[in-house]
């Protein structure tokens, strides 16, 4: 099998490349990435030593560049991770989210049709379902939950899902979609909650908790997400949406306190800051469909996954140290400076 993995130099895309190279050592993977601020070729350093992996720098909105990759390679499967992925950035500047997440997806869909790729997978998010109330723990997102978005990010992801479904219906395009809850693990860009709090704790910097810290997210270790996508692209039913999540709901403040305690720091670092605009209250996935149809269950308990993750950030300071000391300082100042 030959796979195209877009967004391969990002957090989940890179973890997926490593997962596939190990699980299917005979498969060939082409990783494509524009290397935006969120993409880091260092993350793929070990993969680049594998003769079955190749990297192409290209923007998914660049039709000519994308077409030429599809022309050169005969892909069996396309997995699209490439996206602008940070909600806060989408609130500051939505345009790039629409361009990459919607128009970029369209370019990939057109190329996959033109070059008759037998299988396309769109990596989506639970955020397309909007949010759930905090006082109704009985409610979960199923694949039937209506799309109801809150941020420019989630609206752009929902739009790309709808486009994939339109290509399915109109052209008989062979696609699947997965909607996963919040991921954590190695190589996550330090703008996201868990790595940001780890990095700030280690530098004894304030820990900026939005609002009262009571918003709930449903955390899944990244390798479990990769395992689910691997099952869907190989055994899932064409035309279907699969929710992915491991019933692991936690408030943000509990996550922050857990990181503080694991790093032996003081809770006095916690700083409550102005809430995110339109802040989704709670996400919670019902993964019954993927469990029943494909036998997927998460393997990594949160207590283990967070330990692996914190250890990884402790042991890989170069990887994120370079990021937080570079261009990112401007972003951090703009986002948190006088919040
Ligand atoms: P990320 O921001 O870490 O990585 C995104 C990657 O896409 C980067 O390497 C970036 O360089 C690349 N990219 C951005 N624009 C591009 C373009 N125009 N052309 C080519 N490459 C481009 O994001 P992530 O957290 O790894 O998320 C990957 C996917 O999974 C996204 O589609 C996201 O919506 C989805 N998702 C993420 C989570 C999560 O918790 N992180 C949860 C559910 C779904
Ligand atoms: O500094 C912070 N302080 C804070 O309180 C940051 C960065 C976040 N938060 C809160 C906001 C959220 O309630 O923590 C929670 C998690 O925030 P993010 O890490 O930004 O993730 P979220 O907004 O939940 O979106 C993530 O999950 C779904 C990913 O970034 C998306 O790409 C994915 O689709």
Residues 6 and 36 sit within 8 Å (Cβ to Cβ):
no
Nearest CA to ligand 2 atom 26: 182
The domain tally of the chain equals 1
Strand, helix or coil for residue 328: helix
330: in domain:
no
Distance 7 CA to ligand 1 centre (A): 6
- What tens digit of pLDDT does each residue of 13-48 get? 999 999 999 999 999 999 999 999 999 999 999 999
Distance 192 CA to ligand 2 centre (A): 6
Nearest CA to ligand 1 atom 44: 125
Distance 124 CA to ligand 2 centre (A): 15
Please indicate whether residue 127 is annotated as part of the active site.
Answer: yes
337: in domain:
no
Distance 164 CA to ligand 1 centre (A): 17
Residue 70 is predicted with a pLDDT of: 98
Residue of 89, 91, 125, 192 with the most ligand 2 atoms within 8 Å of its CB, for mutation: 192
For residue 327, pLDDT beyond 90: no
CATH code at 80? 3.40.50.720
pLDDT band for 338, please (50, 70, 90 cuts): confident
pLDDT band for 82, please (50, 70, 90 cuts): very high
Tell me how far apart the alpha carbons of residues 63 and 33 are, in angstroms, rounded to a whole number.
14
Residue of 6, 8, 12, 284 with the most ligand 1 atoms within 8 Å of its CB, for mutation: 12
209: in domain:
no
274: in domain:
no
> From the CA atom positions of the chain, what is the Rg in Å?
19
320: in domain:
no
Q: Which of 59, 127, 191, 230 is catalytic?
A: 127
For the CA of 8, the closest atom of ligand 1 is 9
For residue 5, pLDDT beyond 90: yes
Residue of 4, 9, 65, 82 with the most ligand 1 atoms within 8 Å of its CB, for mutation: 82
Q: Within a 10 A sphere around the Cβ of 250, how many other Cβ atoms?
A: 15
Tell me how far apart the alpha carbons of residues 227 and 236 are, in angstroms, rounded to a whole number.
12
Distance 137 CA to ligand 2 centre (A): 20
Which pairing describes strands 120-125 and 220-221: parallel, antiparallel, or unpaired?
A: unpaired
Q: Which of 18, 129, 153, 221 is catalytic?
A: 153
For residue 339, pLDDT beyond 90: no
329: in domain:
no
Distance from the first to the final alpha carbon of the chain: 49
Residue 51 is predicted with a pLDDT of: 98
Distance 256 CA to ligand 2 centre (A): 12
For residue 129, the enclosing domain spans 2-188+219-247+280-302
Residues 6+ apart with CB under 8 A from 160: 101, 102, 105, 122, 124
Please name the residue ranges forming H helices in 116-212. 152-171, 193-202
Name which of 91, 26, 147, 135 is nearest 339 in CA terms: 91
Angle at 85 between CA 227 and CA 244, to 5 degrees: 30
Residue 150, CA atoms < 13 Å, CB-side half-sphere: 17
Residues 150 and 121 sit within 8 Å (Cβ to Cβ):
no
Strand, helix or coil for residue 112: helix
325: in domain:
no
Phi, psi of 96 (to 5 degrees): -65, -25
pLDDT band for 288, please (50, 70, 90 cuts): very high
Element (H, E) at 126: none
Nearest CA to ligand 2 atom 9: 193
170: in domain:
yes
Residues 33 and 9 sit within 8 Å (Cβ to Cβ):
yes
- What tens digit of pLDDT does each residue of 141-170 get? 999 999 999 999 999 999 999 999 999 999
Residue 184 is predicted with a pLDDT of: 98
Nearest CA to ligand 2 atom 16: 193
Average pLDDT over residues 87-93: 98
Residues 189 and 323 sit within 8 Å (Cβ to Cβ):
yes
Please indicate whether residue 304 is annotated as part of the active site.
Answer: no
For residue 326, pLDDT beyond 90: no
Max intra-chain CA distance, the chain: 57
Judged by its nearest atom, the ligand closest to the C-alpha of residue 121 is 1
- What tens digit of pLDDT does each residue of 165-223 get? 999 999 999 999 999 999 999 999 999 999 999 999 999 999 999 999 999 999 999 99
Tell me how far apart the alpha carbons of residues 308 and 288 are, in angstroms, rounded to a whole number.
27
The binding-site residues of ligand 2, defined as CB within 6 angstroms of any ligand atom, are: 85-87, 125, 127, 182, 192-193, 196, 208-210, 215, 217, 252, 276
pLDDT band for 234, please (50, 70, 90 cuts): very high
- What tens digit of pLDDT does each residue of 256-266 get? 999 999 999 99
Indicate the average pLDDT of the chain: 97
Instruction: Kindly state the percentage of the chain with pLDDT values over 90.
Output: 98
Nearest CA to ligand 1 atom 37: 125
């Amino acid at each position: 099998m030959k796979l195209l993995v877009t967004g391969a130099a990002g957090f989940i895309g890179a973890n997926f490349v490593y997962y596939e190279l190990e699980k299917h050592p005979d498969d060939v993977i082409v990783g494509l990435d524009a290397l935006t601020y969120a993409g880091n070729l260092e993350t793929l350093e070990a993969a680049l030593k594998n003769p079955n992996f190749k990297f192409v720098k290209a923007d998914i909105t660049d039709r000519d560049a994308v077409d030429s990759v599809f022309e050169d390679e005969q892909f069996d499967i396309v997995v699209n991770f490439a996206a602008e992925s940070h909600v806060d950035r989408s609130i500051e500047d939505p345009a790039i989210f629409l361009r990459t997440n919607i128009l970029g997806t369209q370019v990939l869909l057109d190329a996959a049709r033109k070059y008759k790729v037998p299988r396309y997978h769109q990596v989506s998010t639970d955020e397309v379902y909007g949010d759930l109330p905090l006082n109704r723990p009985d409610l979960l997102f199923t694949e039937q939950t209506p799309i109801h978005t809150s941020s420019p990010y989630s609206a752009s992801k929902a739009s790309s899902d709808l486009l994939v479904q339109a290509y399915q219906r109109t052209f008989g395009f062979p696609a699947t979609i997965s909607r996963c809850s919040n991921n954590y693990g190695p190589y996550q860009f330090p703008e996201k909650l868990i790595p940001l709090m780890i990095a700030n704790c280690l530098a004894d910097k304030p820990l900026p908790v939005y609002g009262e810290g009571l918003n709930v997210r449903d955390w899944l270790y990244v390798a479990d997400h990769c395992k689910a996508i691997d099952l869907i692209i190989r055994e899932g039913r064409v035309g279907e949406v699969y929710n992915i999540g491991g019933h692991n709901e936690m408030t943000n403040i509990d996550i922050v306190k857990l990181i503080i305690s694991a790093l032996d720091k003081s809770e006095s670092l916690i700083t409550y800051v102005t809430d995110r605009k339109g802040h989704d209250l709670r996400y919670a996935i019902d993964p019954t469909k993927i469990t029943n149809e494909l036998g997927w269950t998460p393997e990594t308990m949160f207590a283990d996954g967070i330990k692996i993750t914190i250890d990884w950030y402790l042991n890989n300071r170069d990887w994120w140290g370079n990021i937080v000391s570079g261009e990112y300082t401007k972003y951090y100042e703009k986002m948190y400076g006088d919040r």
